[in-house]
């Protein structure tokens, strides 16, 4: 103790000086803690002497001790609020549970701070009452199929109601619609019957289409076969006509050659007999005998006699 006293004795401080140091330290701490840093997408509501003073934006601000008070820090980001399912009654007295999601943003921090005591509770309550009013004008089927209509009406009504509170309702979505269990069972039966009906109709339409396609295919096949037979007959007729033309052309050429060779009656008779021999070679089913066959035969005999006499004369010589 004596050693410590000897060390402290040179820097001994009076009681008044200590109090002054403490006061200065307190003032520095209070001043340092009075600086506020406001970040992006946030606003700070400040009151002075119990009344609204200023809305601070992004940056460093000084809060005057004792006189100023930071009331609320408000975010300007879009917020999402998912409310619990609300019981509603449709126009045809069907009770169902509907829960909604609201997307909103704070556009006026001052109005949001002083417009209503609890903004989130106010939005939830007005959303529930608005939903009940809208569903009360719709029956069950309309409620289940008119989500876009419900969303649009709720957004317009909520946006108008929350505008004095500095809130902008951007979008409202019906998250889920839960009808009573008996209604769900009947709806499932109805949907099952509707699916079976559509299935039966589709099968019938498929069979009908199959029969139509089959009949069309058969008709096209008949037309194609008829067209092919027609073309075949035309080709056969053209071939026969061409063959007949060639034969007649050959006959005409043969006659012309005989005529040009100045053949006598004996040669013509022999040609006729050759043609007769070809006709009677056993390949034909019919034989046409010319009416002057006897004249032709006598002519042949005469030619043979003349030829024989010519040979005898040569031998005698």
82 or 267, which is more confident = 82
CA distance 298 to 310: 18
Percentage above 70 pLDDT, the chain:
77
Question: Is residue 2 a part of any domain in this protein?
Answer: no
Torsion of Cα atoms, 295 then 298 then 304 then 305, to 10°: -140
Select from 102, 81, 106 the least CA-distant residue to 164: 106
Q: Which of 110-114, 185-189, 232-236 has the lowest mean pLDDT?
A: 185-189
Q: Is 75 helix (H, G, I), strand (E, B) or coil?
A: strand
Residue 43: strand, helix, or coil: strand
Q: Is residue 297 assigned to a domain?
A: yes
Average pLDDT over every residue of 97-125: 90
| Residue 292 and residue 268 in contact, taking contact as beta carbons nearer than 8 Å | no
Count of structural domains within the chain: 4
Q: What is the pLDDT of residue 297?
A: 52
Same-domain pairing of 130 and 216: no
Does one domain contain both 280 and 238? no
Residues 145 and 127 in one domain: yes
Same domain, 123 and 63: no
3-state SS class at 247: helix
Q: Which residues 6+ apart lie within 8 Å of 273 measured at CB?
A: 296, 300
pLDDT (0 to 100) of residue 19: 81
pTM metric for this prediction: 0.53
Structure-token pair, residue 169: 């309702």
Q: In the listed set 33, 51, 74, which residue is the last one of a domain according to the structure? A: 74
Which tens digits make up the pLDDT trace of 284-306? 455 555 555 555 555 555 555 55
* Two tokens, residue 246: 């060639």
User: What is the pLDDT averaged over residues 182-206?
Assistant: 83
Task: Give the other-Cβ count within 10 Å of 56's Cβ.
Answer: 20
Residue 66: in which H helix or E strand, if any?
A: none
- Quickly count: other Cβ atoms within 10 Å of residue 308's Cβ: 10
- Which residue do the tokens 């040979």 mark? 311
Mean pLDDT, the chain, whole residue set? 79
> Residue 188 has what pLDDT?
78
DSSP, res 317: -
d(CA 103, CA 158) in angstroms, rounded, equals: 11
The first and second tokens of residue 281, run together, are: 């070679």
Q: For position 44, what pLDDT does the model report?
A: 92
Q: Is 56 a member of any domain? A: yes
120 pLDDT above the threshold of 50: yes
CA angle centred on 151, ends 149 and 155, rounded to 5°? 120
CA–CA gap between residue 55 and residue 36 (Å, rounded): 12
Provide the pLDDT confidence category of residue 218 given band limits of 50, 70 and 90. confident
User: Beta-carbon neighbour count of residue 124 at 10 Å?
Assistant: 17
The two tokens of residue 52 are 């609204």
pLDDT for the residue 13: 58
315 pLDDT band, cuts 50/70/90, is: very low
Domain range enclosing 312: 263-316
Name which residue leads in pLDDT, 242 or 105.
105
pLDDT value, residue 3: 42
Give yes or no for residue 308 having a pLDDT over 90.
no
Residues 76-96, mean pLDDT to the nearest whole number: 87
If asked whether residues 90 and 157 sit together in one domain, one would say: yes
Question: For residue 268, what pLDDT is reported?
Answer: 58
What is the rounded CA–CA span in Å between residue 199 and residue 229? 45
In a domain, 12, yes or no: no
Alpha-carbon dihedral angle through residues 208, 212, 213, 216, given to the nearest 10 degrees: 170
Q: Which of 3-7, 75-79, 188-192, 305-309 has the lowest mean pLDDT?
A: 3-7
- Residue 257 confidence (pLDDT): 72
Lowest-confidence region among 105-119, 174-188, 296-310: 296-310
DSSP 125-153: HHHHHHHHHHHHTS-HHHHHH-HHHHHHH
Mean local confidence (pLDDT), 135-152: 86
Within-domain flag for 47: yes
What pLDDT is attached to residue 102?
A: 92
Tell whether 10 is covered by a domain.
no
Instruction: Provide the pLDDT confidence category of residue 1 given band limits of 50, 70 and 90.
Output: very low
Q: Is pLDDT larger for residue 65 or for residue 294?
A: 65
Q: Is the pLDDT of residue 174 over 50?
A: yes
Whether residue 190 lies inside any domain: the answer is no
pLDDT digit string (tens) for 3-57?
434 444 444 456 677 888 888 888 888 777 888 888 888 999 999 988 889 999 8
189 belongs to a structural domain: no
Cα–Cα distance, 54 to 64 (Å, whole number): 12
Task: Round to whole Å and give the CA distance between 291 and 265.
Answer: 17
């Amino acid at each position: 103790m004596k050693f410590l006293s000897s060390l402290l004795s040179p820097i001994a401080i009076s009681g008044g000086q200590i109090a002054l140091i403490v006061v200065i330290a307190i003032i520095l701490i209070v001043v340092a803690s009075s600086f506020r840093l406001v970040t992006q997408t946030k606003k700070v509501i400040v009151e002075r002497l119990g009344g609204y003073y200023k809305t601070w934006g992004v940056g460093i601000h000084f809060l005057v001790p004792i006189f100023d008070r930071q009331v609320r820090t408000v975010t300007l980001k879009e917020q999402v609020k998912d409310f619990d399912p609300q019981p509603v009654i449709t126009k045809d007295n069907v009770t169902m549970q509907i829960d909604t999601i609201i997307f909103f943003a704070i556009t006026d921090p001052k109005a949001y701070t002083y417009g209503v005591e609890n903004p989130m509770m106010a939005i939830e309550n007005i959303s529930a009452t608005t939903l009940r009013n809208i569903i009360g004008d719709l029956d069950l089927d309309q409620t289940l199929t008119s989500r876009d209509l419900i969303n649009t009406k709720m957004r317009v009504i909520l946006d108008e109601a929350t505008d004095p509170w500095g809130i902008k309702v951007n979008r409202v979505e019906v998250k889920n619609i839960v009808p009573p269990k008996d209604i769900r069972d009947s709806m499932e039966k109805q949907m099952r019957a509707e699916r079976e009906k559509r299935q039966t109709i589709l099968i019938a339409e498929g069979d009908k289409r199959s029969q139509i396609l089959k009949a069309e295919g058969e008709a096209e096949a008949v037309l194609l076969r008829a067209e092919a037979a027609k073309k075949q007959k035309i080709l056969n007729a053209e071939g026969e006509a061409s063959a007949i033309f060639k034969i007649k052309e050959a006959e005409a050429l043969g006659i012309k050659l005989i005529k040009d060779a100045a053949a006598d009656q004996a040669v013509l008779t022999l040609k006729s007999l050759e043609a007769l021999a070809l006709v009677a070679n056993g390949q034909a089913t019919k034989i046409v005998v010319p009416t002057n066959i006897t004249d032709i035969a006598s002519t042949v005999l005469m030619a043979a006699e003349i030829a024989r006499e010519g040979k005898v004369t040569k031998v005698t010589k």
